Amino acid sequence: MNLNAISSLIIILVLCLCCTRKSSLNDFDRYGPPTMIYKIKEDSYKTLVPVMLSADKSEIIAYPSKHDLYKNNEYTYPTALIKGYYLDNRGISAQTAFLKLSYEMYLKMEDGFTVKDLFSKIKDKNPFVELYNCGSRFKFKDEVKEINQMILKNKLKDCKCLIK
């Protein structure tokens, strides 16, 4: 990756980690991995490999290592929530696109592929119907149960809406 791509990635990651809800967050909520909740255009996207695009979506600026997609003998698929929502376990953002490759296919790829190879395999550059950042994941004790309650009580509006 070139220096511009690395710089862009760092800026995007910092912005994702520093996002806040519309209501004020205490200092603890601002740190830690973000709670990204989303709906996607097609349910099949949940098993596809995410990549991060540049702001103009003309190039891939980050893609997962094979270790990012398979941890503790499990694929890092998103967690299904109620009403068609998902909880991210991979590090998505508003600049995320999905490849035509499943996790299994990606893990079997030979090393040495290029970003250009991956770009040609993009399935959807705009896969989200809705995307919310609900602060730090550290603030939840039982995240799936608590987030499902947020969805039922129409509390996603209290999170930062990134796409709708």
DSSP state of 89: S
Considering the entire predicted model, what is its pTM?
0.79
Question: pLDDT for 28-58, tens place per residue?
Answer: 456 789 999 999 999 999 999 999 999 999 9
Distance (Å, rounded) from C-alpha 112 to C-alpha 14?
28
Distances (CA, A) of 61 to 120, 158, 163: 14, 30, 20
Domain ranges within the chain, ordered by starting residue: 3-163
Using alpha carbons only, give the angle 93, 20, 90 rounded to the nearest 5 degrees: 30
CA 124 to chain CA mean position, Å:
14
Question: pLDDT for 99-116, tens place per residue?
Answer: 999 999 999 998 878 999
Question: pLDDT for 82-98, tens place per residue?
Answer: 999 999 999 999 999 99
Question: pLDDT for 118-143, tens place per residue?
Answer: 999 999 999 999 999 999 999 999 99
> What is the token pair recorded at 11?
């800026």
pLDDT for the residue 1? 55
pLDDT at 69 over 80: yes
Contacts for 58 with CB less than 8 Å, ≥ 6 apart: none
